[in-house]
Amino acid sequence: MSEFDLNNLNECLEKYLPIDKLTEVKRILYGLEEDQILDLSDSATAIAQKHGFEIKGYRFTAREEQIRKPRVVRVGAIQNSIVLPTTAPIEDQRTAIWNKVTTMIKAAAAAGCNIFCAAMPFAFCTREKFPWCEFAEEAEHGPTTKMLAELAKSHNMVIIHSILERDIEHGETIWNTAVVISNNGRYLGKHRKNHIPRVGDFNESTYYMEGNTFHPVFETEFGKLAVNICYGRHHPQNWMMFGLNGAEIVFNPSATIGRLSEPLWSIEARNAAIANSYFTVPINRVGTEKFPNEYTSGDGTTAHKEFGPFYGSSYVAAPDGSRTPSLSRDKDGLLVTELDLNLCRQIKDFWGFRMTQRLSLYAESFQRASKSDFKPQIIKESSKLKD
C-alpha cells in the first residue's frame, strides 16, 4: 500500500470544518448538502472488516413519476492493490488477484449489488515485453472470464472486468479490453480501449494499439452499460459516443497515478455525467508496483523501478451533477451506490442538452478537421485596414 498524508478528502473536510460550513462546502463540491448514505448489510460489512478493505454506501434518487416505476439498481465498484510482488510467477499473481476480487464480489453481493466493476493489474509501463505479455488471454473463453461467469451467475450480478486480451483469430494481437458478463453468467461482449496514452510512465503502446470496437453499449437486465477504459476519460468525444448509443451508466476502470492526473480525476467523469445525462463510475487502483529493472519515462525523470502511487479516490457521479464522496486514496475499497436510472431521462428533459446538441454542425466541422488540408477557422485583421 502507498502512504498518503491525506488519506481521504471527505474525512478531512468533516474533521476540520464546522457543521454549518461543511454543509455549504459539500453543496459546492458534491452537489449535495449531505451525503446520501446507503445502509449496508451486516454481512457485507463483516466481509470488508475481515479482509481489511473499506466499504461505503451512497444513493441517488429521482423524482417520482406518474407512469414509469423507479428503476433502482445497485452498483459495486472496487479499487484494489496487487497482492503479490511483480516478480512472482504470473499465474500466482493472477490467482492472488482473483482471490481478492472474488472476496470483494461476495461483499458486493451481500450489499445487494446488481452490477460490479473491477480493474486489472497494471504492468505495462516498463517497455519490457516479458513476462508481462503472459497476462494476455482470450476475451470470451479465457480463464478470467470463465471464473467471473460463475460468480456472475451465482450472485445474479452483471460483472465488468478489465483484461489484457489476446486476439487468437487475428495473429494473437494484444489489446487492453474490458469484458462484460451478464447476470446469467453469459459472455455479453467486450470493448477495447480507444485511446492509448503516451505520457509519463505510461508506455502502453509497447503492448497494444488503439481499439477497434467503437463505442458499444451493453443492454442488461439492470440497465444499459458502457465502459470507457482508463485514458479514454480524457477525451470528451469518447464519453459522448457512449451517450449517443444509449448508455445509462458508463464505467471508467483506470490505473492512474499521483501528480500526473489527480487534479483532473474529480472533474472529467463528473463533467461527462453532466454533458451526457448518464451516471459515471470512475474507478482507480491503489498501491505502488515495483519492478526488477529500471525504466525511463517520457517526462524527463531519472530511471526508476517504482510505478505509482495509484491514488484510488473512486466515486460515482450523477447526470444532475451531484456525486458521491470518494473512497480513500490508499486503501482497498468497495463503493456501493444505489441509482434510480429514471434520473437520466429526467435530466435530459430538464436541461435539453440532447435537443440543443447540434450534432450535424459538429459532424461537418469534424469532417473538415480530419482532412489533411484543414485550416483552422481563424479570422485576422486585414492588412489593408492597418495604418
Residue 90 lies in a domain: yes
Using alpha carbons only, how large is the chain's radius of gyration in Å?
22
Residue 4 lies in a domain: no
Residue 233 lies in a domain: yes
Residue 88 lies in a domain: yes
Number of domains forming the structure of the chain? 1
* Structure-block grid coordinates of residue 162: 478489465
Residue 50 lies in a domain: yes
What is each CA distance from 239 to 35, 175, 195, in whole angstroms?
26, 20, 12
Report pLDDT for 382. 83
Could you identify the residue written with the cell 451531484?
Answer: 322
Instruction: Provide the residue range defining the domain that includes 301.
Output: 35-385
Q: What per-residue string of b and e applies to 331-367 under the rule 16 or more CB within 10 Å gives b? A: bbbbbbbbbbbbbbbbbbeebeeeeeeeeeeeeeeee
Contact between 1 and 82 (Cβ < 8 Å)? no
- Residue 268 belongs to domain with CATH number: 3.60.110.10
Residue 11 lies in a domain: no
- From CA 204, how far away is CA 291, in angstroms rounded? 16
Residue 68 lies in a domain: yes
Residue 10 lies in a domain: no
Per-residue pLDDT of the chain (387 residues; tens, 9 = 90+): 456 788 998 899 999 999 989 999 999 999 998 889 999 999 999 999 999 999 999 999 999 999 999 999 999 999 999 999 999 999 999 999 999 999 999 999 999 999 999 987 677 888 889 999 999 999 999 999 999 999 999 999 999 999 999 999 999 999 999 999 999 999 999 999 999 998 888 889 999 999 999 999 999 999 999 999 999 999 999 999 999 999 999 999 999 998 889 999 999 999 999 999 999 999 999 999 999 999 987 778 899 999 989 999 999 999 999 999 999 999 999 999 999 999 999 999 999 999 999 999 999 999 999 999 999 999 999 877 665
Q: What's the pTM value of the predicted model, to 2 decimals? A: 0.96
Expressed in percent and rounded to 5, the helix, strand and coil fractions of the chain are 35, 25, 40
Report pLDDT for 1. 44
